[in-house]
Amino acid sequence: MDIRRKLFLKRDPYSRGKDEGLFVRAVREQVKRNAAGSPEYAAILASRSFSPDELVSEEDLGRLPPLPTLFFKRNRIFSVPEKKLVVKAFSSGTKGARSEVGLDLSSLLYGIMMMFRLFSLHGVISPIPTNYIVVGYEPSKHSDMGAIKTAYGTTKFAPALHREYALRDTGTGYELNPDGVFRALMRYSRQPFPVRFVGFPAYMYFLAKSLKEKGISLKLPKRSMVLLGGGWKQFSGEEIDRGSFHKLIEETLGIKKERCLEFFSAVEHPHAYVRCPSGHFHIPSYTRVIIRDADTLEPVPEGTPGLLNFITPLVSSMPLASVLTDDIAVYGTSPCPCGNKAPYFDLLGRAGVGGIKTCAASAAEMAVKK
């Protein structure tokens, strides 16, 4: 039996219990599988003098060489034949560079089961028909961005009556659709069905701000929700604090902050982290987080800022067991007022592409070019 099965089918996604040994074994198995299927990845591990057999305890996870997201933007690397990939997704890209991620069937199925458990716990799964405002891109044949697939997938967690998109597909690109969104929202507000807003925080802010400027204050059905992720990106100069953001949403749409969920994920790390009411991203039992020093890549103590490194055994089709992001974060285990006992991380900002060309990235690039 696939060792991932017990890990990803846990009833409580935040309860670790006695599963630490299971998690390490699952990571070790995936690293071996990826190295066996990818000579490039095997060369990367060898260049760092690392053997998967060194993964015996939780403390050993920090020794697993992380691959930076920048590496995936510059290299295509799979551990299975591409014909076995059932889903592909691309990052939005930085100056044209995009990560390409592909999942085989087993990785996809375990990922779906994992997400179902997590989102059920957070009240996102619902059988009630729902109207959607997607404050993001409409799916299109000419775009394969992971963010588009994620937003559309989120509209599957409650049966969709109708979807309206803030960025509408023109056949060759995208155009803003403010009038369409406004008309749809007014129509939804007269119906008894919940309304869900899915997509980017910046576009959600622009929508709520526009309603406030128009003097519009709606009271959408109480099961309505706001589900956001992806950060503010090019609109960082417009970003407001979470308290003011939630207040604006409640004033214009009647949705309380308890029904506003913010997610964090990355194309290179197909997991979702949910920000709790206290502002922390709690870490589920099927992932681990290490904060690394930006210069040495050594793990740093709790409470010390550093580069955010995710570890997971989910993906068997690509070497995504340890992915180093360009996000700056801190790790915490102190009791959280929200009641979730799982450890967490807090995002502080981004290091920028130029600041994360680490020794690991250099070694990885050299290994792939051999």
Residue 145: what pLDDT?
76
What pLDDT, on a 0 to 100 scale, did the predictor assign at position 96? 62
**Res. 360: pLDDT tops 90:** no
pLDDT tens readout for residues 80-106: 999 999 998 888 754 567 899 999 999
Residues ≥6 apart with Cβ < 8 Å to 350: 326, 327, 328
Q: What's the mean pLDDT in 316-334?
A: 96
How confident is the prediction for the chain on average, in pLDDT? 89
Strand order through the sheet with 269-274: 174-176, 160-169, 130-137, 195-199, 225-229, 260-266, 269-274
Give, to the nearest 10 degrees, the angle between helix 39-47 and helix 20-37: 120
In this prediction, residue 6 has a pLDDT band, given cuts at 50, 70 and 90, of confident
pLDDT tens-digit map of 275-310: 999 999 999 999 999 999 999 999 999 999 999 999
Distance of CA 56 to the CA centre of its chain: 27
Q: Domains for the chain: give ranges and CATH numbers.
A: 4-99+267-369 (3.40.50.12780), 115-264 (3.40.50)
User: Is pTM beyond 0.95 here?
Assistant: no
Question: In this predicted model, what pLDDT tens digit does every residue of 151-181 receive, in sequence order?
Answer: 888 999 999 999 999 999 888 888 999 999 9
pLDDT in tens, 190-242: 999 999 999 999 999 999 999 999 999 999 998 999 999 877 666 656 678 88
pLDDT above 60: residue 345: yes
Helix (H) or strand (E) segment spanning residue 115: helix 105-121
